[in-house]
A and B are shown apart, each in its own frame.
Chain A
Amino acid sequence: MRLTALYLFASFSDFQQGRGSVQMPENYVPAFIFIAVALAIPVVTLAIAKAVRPDNPFGTKLMPYECGVDPEGSARGRYTVRFYIVAILFVVFDVETIFLFPWAVQARTLKAFGFIEMMVFLAILIVGYIWIWKKGALEWV
């Protein structure tokens, strides 16, 4: 396994034409510091809290908190399938915006041509929207 990894590594490093030895990536030092701080803050806070707080657990206190009402049933119950349909629609329509961002950045250079192409794209999307609307997928129950 390790040999395979090394072999892959060696073959991929063919792409590194004429580069020197591998060194510590200095650009990433701020990122490492950031990660360290981000990890340290919760760990330190929790540790201090644990050290100073009084410890007195009892049944009612350990119950899940649901706005003060006693919890009903298990938290791992099934959701209605409606949630899934909304999630599916969200996945599709959410990702379509990925095409809008590059166009938005370059809208000035692309001018009318880009605008028309984008409107065609949106028109196709709107046909899909009308279709799911009329099919009743957006209605609750």
Chain B
Amino acid sequence: MTVPLSYYLVLSAILFSLGVLAFVVKRNIITVFMSIELMLNAVNLSFVSFAAHWHRLSGQIFVFFVMVVAAAEAAVGLAIIIAVFRTRETLNIDRVNLLKL
């Protein structure tokens, strides 16, 4: 492997920061959801590169679980989004405001 570990880690840190930024900035619920997926994928990249660095498999196994967890969260999230849409007819996060913040 000639690509140093730090390259992967910096890429992962950038992806993660972009995910956090999109989570804060974006207003559409589906897009906000995708930014969370981006964060989790940055985590996955970080885990696999560490797993390759240490020559241990546990990091890759963690990635499997993160992916499954992300899928479960996406499924539950989509279901809740549908429920919200049915009662409100909007997916703009600023208009989901019955509970005061």
Q: A residues engaging B (CB < 8 A)?
A: 5, 8-9, 12-13, 15-16, 19, 22-28, 81, 84-85, 87-89, 91-92, 94-96, 98-99, 102
The 8 Å CB contact of B68, one of A9, A81, A87, A99, is: A99
A28 to B3 Cα, complex, angstroms: 9
Q: CB-CB contacts of B27-64 with A at 8 A, as 1s and 0s?
A: 00000000000000000000000000100000000001
Interface residue total, chain B, C-beta cutoff 8 A: 22
Q: B residues engaging A (CB < 8 A)?
A: 1-6, 9-10, 13-14, 53, 64, 67-68, 71-72, 74-75, 78-79, 82, 86
**Consensus secondary structure, chain B interface:** helix
Q: Are B64 and A15 in contact (CB under 8 A)?
A: no
**Consensus secondary structure, chain A interface:** helix
Q: Are B75 and A23 in contact (CB under 8 A)?
A: no
Given the known A-B contacts A5-B10, A99-B64, are A91 and B5 also in contact in the complex, defined by CB atoms under 8 Å? no
Q: Which residues of B contact A98 (CB under 8 A)?
A: 64, 67-68
- Rounded to whole Å, the gap between the CB of B79 and the closest CB of chain A is 6
Q: Are A8 and B13 in contact (CB under 8 A)?
A: yes
Q: Are B64 and A91 in contact (CB under 8 A)?
A: no
Q: Which residues of B contact A92 (CB under 8 A)?
A: 71-72, 75
Given the known A-B contacts A15-B53, A88-B75, A91-B74, are A26 and B82 also in contact in the complex, defined by CB atoms under 8 Å? no
A90 nearest in chain B by CB position: B75
Given the known A-B contacts A12-B6, A15-B6, are A81 and B13 also in contact in the complex, defined by CB atoms under 8 Å? no
Q: Are A91 and B71 in contact (CB under 8 A)?
A: yes
Q: Which residues of A contact B86 (CB under 8 A)?
A: 81
